[in-house]
């Protein structure tokens, strides 16, 4: 089962809105893999997602702390694999315990975790658009648990600016 939706955003606020649009689709035990180069908006998207789940603290990149946990509903564990070099180090993060405990795990540089979680996950690919501020975001649902939720993905795409090149809506 695969299902995909794409969107384009013109501002960080729109990227956050995509994150907020993903939030209501998530439930206990879900993995979101974020794939995209430096500056593509991975952490920005997580900011919108965590805020939409009721997070009140600022979301920052966990590149050097490896993992942040937010007391949202469901609780979010936000990890960043950039500094890791071996798959065993990803295993050692013990994300199974977070997932089994009812949490959601959001993974930046998620391609590194594909061998472990790629079969049943929401994969969000972020890329650069034609202008400095434009980003393309493709959301792909993988695995049995996402079949019933795949219909919600088109709404996620609608949460951003819509079509590429569309005029930016204001920040904030």
Partner 1 sequence: MRILAIETATIEVGVALADETGPLASVTARPGRRQAETLHPAIADACRIARITPAELDAIAVDIGPGLFTGLRVGVAAAKALAGGLGLPVVTAMSLEVLIAACPSGLGEVIPVVDMRRGEVAWLMPRSPASTVRVGTPAELAAELAELARESAAAAGNVGPVLLVGDGALRHRELLGASSAPAPVFGGIELAAPPVSSLAVLAIAAMTDGRFCDPAAVCPFYGREADARINWSSRQGRETVS
For residue 31, the SS3 value is strand
The minimum distance between CB 172 and partner 1, in angstroms, equals 26
How far apart CA 63 and CA 79 sit, in angstroms, is 8
Question: Quick one: which segment of 8-16, 79-87, 143-151, 154-162 binds partner 1 (CB under 8 A)?
Answer: 79-87
- As a whole number of Å, the end-to-end CA separation of the chain is 36
Smallest gap from residue 39 Cβ to partner 1 (A): 6
Contacts (CB under 8 A) with partner 1, residues 112-141: 112, 115-116, 127-130, 136
Evaluate the CA torsion angle 101, 72, 144, 40 in order and state its sign: negative
Residue 145 makes contact with partner 1 by CB under 8 A: no
Closer by beta carbon to partner 1, 87 or else 150: 87
By CB atoms closer than 10 A (0-12, 13-18, 19+), residue 59 is buried
Q: Which residues are at the interface with partner 1 (CB under 8 A)?
A: 35, 37-39, 81-82, 84-88, 90-94, 96-97, 99-100, 109, 111-112, 115-116, 127-130, 136
């Amino acid at each position: 089962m695969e299902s995909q939706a794409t969107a384009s955003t013109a501002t960080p606020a729109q990227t956050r809105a995509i994150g907020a649009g993903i939030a209501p689709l998530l439930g206990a035990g879900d993995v979101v893999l974020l794939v995209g180069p430096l500056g593509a908006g991975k952490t920005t998207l997580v900011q919108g997602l965590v805020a939409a789940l009721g997070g009140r603290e600022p979301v920052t990149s966990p590149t050097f702390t490896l993992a942040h946990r937010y007391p949202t509903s469901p609780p979010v564990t936000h990890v960043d694999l950039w500094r890791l070099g071996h798959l065993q180090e990803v295993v050692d993060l013990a994300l199974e315990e977070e997932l089994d405990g009812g949490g959601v795990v959001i993974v930046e540089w998620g391609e590194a975790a594909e061998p472990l979680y790629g079969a049943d996950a929401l994969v969000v690919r972020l890329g650069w658009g034609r202008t400095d501020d434009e980003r393309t975001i493709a959301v792909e649902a993988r695995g049995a648990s996402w079949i019933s939720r795949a219909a919600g993905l088109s709404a996620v795409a609608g949460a951003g600016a819509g079509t590429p090149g569309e005029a930016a809506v204001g920040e904030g």
